[in-house]
Amino acid sequence: MSYEKVDVPEDGEKVTYDKEADELQVPDNPIVPIIYGDGIGKDVAPVAQKVLEKAAEATGRNIEWMRVFAGESAREKYDENLPDDTVDALREFRVSIKGPLTTPVGAGFRSLNVALRKKLDLYTNMRPTYYLDGVPSPVKNPEEMDMVNFRENTEDVYAGIEWEAGTDEVEQVREFVEDEMGYDSTIHDGPVGIGVKPITEFGTKRLVRKAINYAIENDRDSVTLVHKGNIMKFTEGAFRDWGYELAEEEFPEQTIDEDTLWEEYDGEAPEDKVVVKDRIADNMLQQLLTRTPNYDVLAMPNLNGDYLSDAAGAQIGGLGIAPGANIGDGRFLAEPVHGSAPKHAGKDKANPSAMILSGKIMLEHLGWEDAAQLVHDAVEQQISSKRVTYDLERQVEGGEKLAASEYADEICERIDELA
């Protein structure tokens, strides 16, 4: 494939995908597209890139980076927010990483992040949430948090199907809902905005399949379907039902439900079974705090996943260290959970840990578990040393403030020592 304004590294090779086996074939020198992003992305992405390079080299491999553009940098280079070069590169080379993006008002996309997920059908947003020793936390036992959130990426209210108050279109929808569907007392008089919340069997089952496969492959005890099905019975209630159905249809030997757990096993799950259970979303927000160790993998519709993953992240120190990734069939895009924080841009001060740890997930996805472990251990050692960026230094007694680049350099030195 040819590209208009970006260069493909000559020394790298493509990651390829065996669809039948659902497996990536990864060379030791993969071409990996990277989007620096907006705001602090320009600070954290280059230094994260340096750390990931070091971990790859320490394990006898090499990453051939391919710089591509979205957001502000794309507007400067292409006069558009999301050029074909970028989408094509992420599609062709399959495994990539990006920094945070800001969507300007009136720029044509509801969200550049959502647009990328939809264009590449990255239907799973995975956010591991685990504690790193030394990170300040608002809870007493942050080390109890070790969950992986699987959030559906393409449906729910994020599908963006809505009509603005005062338009002819919204009045047509109101008329249809009230007159033809018979919900004549549902909508108050006066201006109204209306949205549609689609949740499909197809979208639900492929998300839950990813979550259960992850639990099996990573020796996790449970998968919890988080929903508001007591109120939204035909959307989130259906998500719950389809999730259980998928487990029964495709994983009958590897999973049991909670009723079976208690009726046949007196609450003690066999080691070779993953327990599939469900919780109402508001109750789950409470149980994140009160019964943290009881949950391993959460599978959720889009909006619930947004709320729950941020709440879980707060328990282990906040979004500054929270990694994430978007996963489809044969494609992967890592990204930190935090935003672009433009007021801190260009100051070499923003914490790059979330971007680095998102890269750790990328290394795992490439099958480079040894390199990923080096990244994890080096970041944890660096934080424990109290030589950290400003956001952590101000919360740590005896902390020493480093620039983002200095922090990353010291992590690289630790990787060398650990390798």
Cα–Cα distance measured from residue 416 to residue 405, given in angstroms and rounded to the nearest whole number: 17
**Is 127 flagged in the annotation as binding?**
yes
For strand 297-300 and strand 146-152, is the pairing parallel, antiparallel, or unpaired?
A: parallel
Give catalytic status of residue 306 as yes or no: yes
**Is 117 flagged in the annotation as binding?**
yes
Q: How far, in Å, are 18, 250, 359, 361 from residue 213 at the CA level?
A: 17, 10, 21, 16
DSSP for 349-402 reads: -S--HHHHHHHHHHHHHTT-HHHHHHHHHHHHHHHHTTEE-HHHHTTSTT-EE-
Give catalytic status of residue 197 as yes or no: no
Q: Residues 149, 153, 156, 162: what is their CA dihedral angle, to the nearest 10 degrees?
A: 140
Q: Which is catalytic among the residues 54, 197, 228, 360?
A: 228
Give catalytic status of residue 310 as yes or no: no
Residue 318: CA atoms inside 13 Å, Cβ hemisphere, count? 11
Cα–Cα distance measured from residue 276 to residue 254, given in angstroms and rounded to the nearest whole number: 10
Give catalytic status of residue 233 as yes or no: no
DSSP for 53-119 reads: HHHHHHTT---EEEEE--THHHHHHHSSSS-HHHHHHHHHH-EEEE------TTSS-S-HHHHHHHH
The distance between the two most distant Cα atoms of the chain, rounded to a whole number of Å, is 71
**Is 125 flagged in the annotation as binding?**
no
Q: Which is catalytic among the residues 36, 123, 131, 158?
A: 158
Contact status, residue 208 vs residue 214, Cβ threshold 8 Å? no
**Is 351 flagged in the annotation as binding?**
yes
Q: Which is catalytic among the residues 306, 360, 391, 407?
A: 306
**Is 394 flagged in the annotation as binding?**
yes
Q: Which is catalytic among the residues 146, 282, 377, 409?
A: 282
**Is 3 flagged in the annotation as binding?**
no
Q: Kind and range of the H or E element at 288?
A: helix 281-290
Q: How far, in Å, are 27, 87, 123, 324, 401 from residue 361 at the CA level?
A: 17, 21, 17, 8, 27
- What is the number of other CB atoms lying within 10 angstroms of the CB of residue 357? 26
* Residue whose pair of structure tokens reads 């909670």 in the numeric block: 258
**Is 387 flagged in the annotation as binding?**
no
**Is 111 flagged in the annotation as binding?**
yes
Q: How far, in Å, are 39, 75, 77, 390, 396 from residue 400 at the CA level?
A: 24, 38, 39, 8, 9
Strand, helix or coil for residue 124: strand
**Is 326 flagged in the annotation as binding?**
no
Which residues does the annotation mark as catalytic?
158, 228, 282, 306
Point out the annotated binding site for NADP(+).
102, 351, 390, 394
